[in-house]
Amino acid sequence: MSAPLRAAIIGGGVIGGGWAARFLLNGWDVSVYDPDPDAERKLGEVLDNARRSLPALYDRALPPAGQLRFCTGIADAVTGAAWVQESVPERLELKHTVHAELTRLAPAEAVIGSSTSGFRPSELTGQGARVIVAHPFNPVYLLPLVELVGAPEHCARAAGHLRAIGMYPLTVRQEIDAHIADRLLEAVWRESLWLVRDGIATTEEIDEAIRMGFGLRWAQMGLFETYRIAGGEAGMKHFMAQFGPALKWPWTKLMDVPEFNDDLVELIAGQSDAQSGHMSIRALERLRDDNLVAMIRALRRTGSGAGGVITAHEARLPAPAEGVLPVTLDRQVPSSWTDYNGHMNEAHYVEASAAATDRFMEMFGADAAYIASGRSYFTVETHVRYLAETHAGDRLRVTTQVLGGDGRKLHLFHTLMREGETQVATVETLLVHVDLTTRRSSEPAPEIGERLAPLLKAHGSLPRPEGAGQGISASGRGAGAG
């Protein structure tokens, strides 16, 4: 087994910490250099949030986390690194100093990326540094976009690493101040400052306008696809013809900037405190992360936007191990699976077992191709025993034993466990083979029986699992759902 790749993070603040978390949770070893005496504590808090949220996007387990090491100097941090990410403050003279050291000390084949949100590569390399722009978005451990700007071969090498850790590299065709996304954000930001300064809206009202309206559309379709739909059946040409004249109307003040003075700062800060000051920054981060996980998981169903990136990345992750009792599910419990009692809701135990059933069916050939051919298995009966509580962030592991599989029927027994091999539930499932054209039971294809036979033989020699064949009992010891 090859050694993990190593990433060096120079500057461990919010962005640097997010980079560290993204690499670590995808199996890279990470070395961090940051002279801030509080760097280890701050980065640890970012990692806590990342461990709670990033694995919850996936239905497979991410690779085992890498090793984190704090270093006392740049030379130590970059030793053996395949990726070096600079996330120091946005001061060009500081970046020049850091990049000179990175160019001198980092391995020749290492990607050297800068998290800069505004500087162009030509400004960063003006004194001979070997660096590209690799501009992410906060939180780096959840949002996939990274804007790459710089030498084509350097950007291409960077893009390969980014895809491997579940990110979406967007190579900017030519350098420009603030790249692409921040220029768009700046336009909205400037207009928002005017609206607050002129008393048209408060900070909270502007945020509501975004999150209750076009922000939801942008998450799945961006700007141009959204406007294409707004054009109706005639599409984008009709939209442009209808709304094009508005470009000449005085709707925005994008070429003008409100005076940045103490009065404006106090106005914005005061309204922001009134809006969100009742929550700590860490609590706001957790709320943001939980919402992002839920929205990105929703986008996975259609492969839209960030959801498509997660689906593609998950397909490259190792499938759960096969064995005498195969692991048919290995994933983290997302916060969206919990309920008002603070633990995993009963419906999601069935959801987890259904995913385990699908994985087991794949093992003997009843996979997507088989279903596309017009045949499948339908669940006709399920019995769940809730044995212990499961909470958001727990790693859930399912093993599956086949109890019967002769003819049209398939009888499975799933055991759900969390860390420490604590059994949290069992789910017994009876399925029947169906012809999808008639929607009636039918005999499976001969090759299904042939591939299922060895599993039936191996599992048949095992003890019958506790709870198999039971009905509802008043003396049940369940304590896991609500």
Known binding residues for NAD(+) are: 11-16
∠ CA 296-301-303, rounded to 5°: 75
Q: Would you list which residues are annotated within the binding site?
A: 11-16
172: number of Cβ within 10 Å? 18
Q: Collect all residues with Cβ–Cβ distance below 8 Å to 210 and sequence separation of at least 6.
A: 188
Collapsed DSSP state (helix, strand, coil) of residue 105: helix
- Those residues whose C-beta lies under 8 Å from the C-beta of residue 371, and which sit 6 or more positions away, are 436
Distance between CA atoms of residues 449 and 456, nearest Å: 10
CA distance 262 to 337: 45
Strand 395-404 to 132-135 pairing: unpaired
Contact 86, 112 (CB under 8 A): yes
Interstrand relation of 375-386 and 327-332 (parallel, antiparallel or unpaired) = unpaired
CA distances 475 to 118, 464, 470, 472, Å, are 65, 21, 12, 9
Q: What is the DSSP string of 382-416?
A: EEEEE-S---TT-EEEEEEEEEE-STTEEEEEEEE
Pair type for strands 327-332 and 395-404: antiparallel
If 0-12 CB within 10 Å is exposed, 13-18 middle and 19+ buried, where does residue 103 land? middle
Cβ atoms of residues 84 and 108 within 8 Å: no
DSSP symbols for 179-223? TTHHHHHHHHHHHHHHHHHTTS--HHHHHHHIIIIIHHHHHHHTT
Tell how strand 422-435 and strand 409-418 pair up.
antiparallel
The amino acid sitting at 168 is Y
d(CA 126, CA 129): 7
**Other C-beta atoms within 10 Å of 91: how many?**
10
282 in helix, strand or coil? helix
Contact status, residue 68 vs residue 24, Cβ threshold 8 Å: yes
